[in-house]
Amino acid sequence: MKKYYTRVCNFAYGKSSIKLVKKRINLPLNSNKELSFSQIEIITRDSKKIIDLKDIKKLPKSLKEKINKDLKIIIKKNKNFSSLNFNKIPNIMGILNLTPDSFSDGGKFNKRKTGIHHAKNLFKSGADIIDVGGESTRPGSKPVSKKEEWNRVKEILKNINKKIPLSLDTRKSEIMNKGIQVGVKLINDVSGLSYDSKTVDVLKKSKTPFVIQHSQGTPEQMQKNPKYKNELLDIYDFFEKKIKFLISKGIKHNNIMIDPGIGFGKNLKHNMNLIRSVSIFHTLGFPILLGLSRKRFIKDLSGKNDSKGRLGGTVASSLYAIMQGVQVLRIHDVNELTQSIKVFKELIKD
């Protein structure tokens, strides 16, 4: 049986969005009248078709019922968690790498004093939550021991968790458990909870919110000729199956974000298609987190191999993501992105 996917598109913003919702031309994303859409793209494995919302009634009965069911999920308000407000787009997740080998800032903030100072600066610059990581998962990186990873992050977590909302970027259940005990508000596992079989039990017991990220392969191998039948739909199906699996394992809360994992087992074509059509993931009913900051696709498009000089590409892709209703952006350059968002929102508010 052919499977249909619903992707919302043709967004409106600000006052114009509110007017269109009032006239019932547009529907609000997550009940936010300041961000709404007037069209959907109906996608299968072998076809795509964009239609206006008013034309849904003309579709065959079974397809119409499927799309209307999807739309109920898409317009439903997301519950806030982890000090994040999903009615505000976007929330900013600041990046704090406490590692010697992260791809763009390895070794820069991995001392206690510099790490704490940088976390405070990110928060003052507009980050809503800080994502702290003690193990690099860049392409080609190798895993570190649990002891080494915890030693890298423990002082920072203990010193700033009461002042600044913290997310913990880890694949390991033991590190998750220790982080949760010292007040971490969110777990961000780049492996999609597949690296360590005990992670689901930790999250079930603690009821801690978490991010499910898609990645293909391990960091050591993930960029060696990644392949998909259809990257957009394959990754959508991955999230559907993963969420069903988590429910079957006793995860009862909906305090979950999903991250398509830009650059994690994807080539340039895969990344571009995911970013262009990222609004398909709203149909899953969870906030979307997107990590675009300083990623390799910017180098591939610009032709300049400088991981510290990718601010322009980060801003451009981030503003595009905002236009698709992405709720959380994971960012290195928080001050610069916050500035660009303020200008962007002022320009589109009418």
Tell me which of 330, 342, 345, 349 is the catalytic residue: 330
> What DSSP element (H or E) covers 256?
strand 256-259
Tell me which of 295, 296, 308, 310 is the catalytic residue: 295
Residues contacting residue 116 through CB under 8 Å, at least 6 positions apart: 156, 159, 160
**Distance of alpha carbon 155 from the chain centroid:** 26
Q: Helices marked H in the chain — which ranges? A: 14-22, 61-75, 112-124, 146-160, 173-181, 199-206, 231-248, 268-276, 296-302, 311-323, 334-348
Active site annotation includes 330: yes
SS3 145: coil
Active site annotation includes 76: no
The answer to whether the CB of 31 falls within 8 A of the CB of 74 is: no
Q: What is the dihedral of CA 56, 61, 64, 65, to 10 degrees?
A: 150
Q: What are phi and psi of 214, to 5 degrees?
A: -90, 135
Report the alpha-carbon distance of residue 60 to residue 1 in Å, rounded.
15
Three-state SS letters, 176-223: HHHHHHCCCCEEEECCCCCCCCCHHHHHHHHCCCEEEECCCCCCCCCC
The span from the first CA to the last CA of the chain, in angstroms, equals 44
For residue 90, cis peptide bond before it (omega within 30 degrees of 0): yes
Q: Which residues are catalytic?
A: 295, 330
